[in-house]
Amino acid sequence: MAEVKILVEGFASGDFSDEEERTRATITLIEDGDIKIVVDPGVLKSQDILISALERNGLSVNDIDIVCITHSHINHYRNIGMFPEAKTLEFYGLWDKESVEDWNENFSEDIKIIKTPGHDKSSISLLVKTKNGSVAVVGDLFWKENYPEKDPYADSPEKLEESRNKILEISDWIIPGHGKIFKVKK
């Protein structure tokens, strides 16, 4: 079974009392056999934060095979260039340098790619089978555990609700776009 770890925990402006707008995506590592995936390398004060997080897990940027972008907002993909040898998985395909191919929903035995529009029309989520149950890595489908019912940045509130309900039904855990992992209440 695959393993999922949060490398760098995210946050959003509402987490602070000051008026400065700040955001950082939750950056996740998925290890599935020999495949190593970083999800949403985001924006950081320093790329050393992510490099150090990888090193704590015995990895370097050159060990990452795939970088997954859950949606097309820069605070989730800004540091993609840190991984020049990795393929990029996003809504429109699996990119390898200048080549792109369609991805299969069943990406591997333990990873499923699910289109989850609503926050952004190009949103995808990864559903990962682990020894602790199914973990959904969802970008901004859910910002954090106590997610606001209304997402002020949602492209389509109706599709967002549909996508949220789908993920809540099929997952045991959720790694949101800007917070800690949380257990799905069933």
Give dist(CA 137, CA 124) in Å, integer: 9
| pLDDT reported for residue 18 | 64
- The pLDDT profile of the chain, 186 residues, written as one tens digit per residue, is 999 999 999 998 766 566 678 899 999 999 999 999 999 999 999 999 999 999 999 999 999 999 999 999 999 999 999 999 999 999 999 999 999 999 999 999 999 999 999 999 999 999 999 999 999 999 999 999 987 778 888 999 999 999 999 999 999 999 999 999 999 998
Indicate whether this model's pTM tops 0.85. Answer: yes
Pick the CATH number of 3-183 from 3.40.50.1580, 3.30.1330.30, 1.10.10.10, 3.60.15.10: 3.60.15.10
| pLDDT reported for residue 28 | 98
Q: What is the pLDDT of residues 88-119, one digit of tens each?
A: 999 999 999 999 999 999 999 999 999 999 99
> Hey, where are the domains in the chain?
3-183
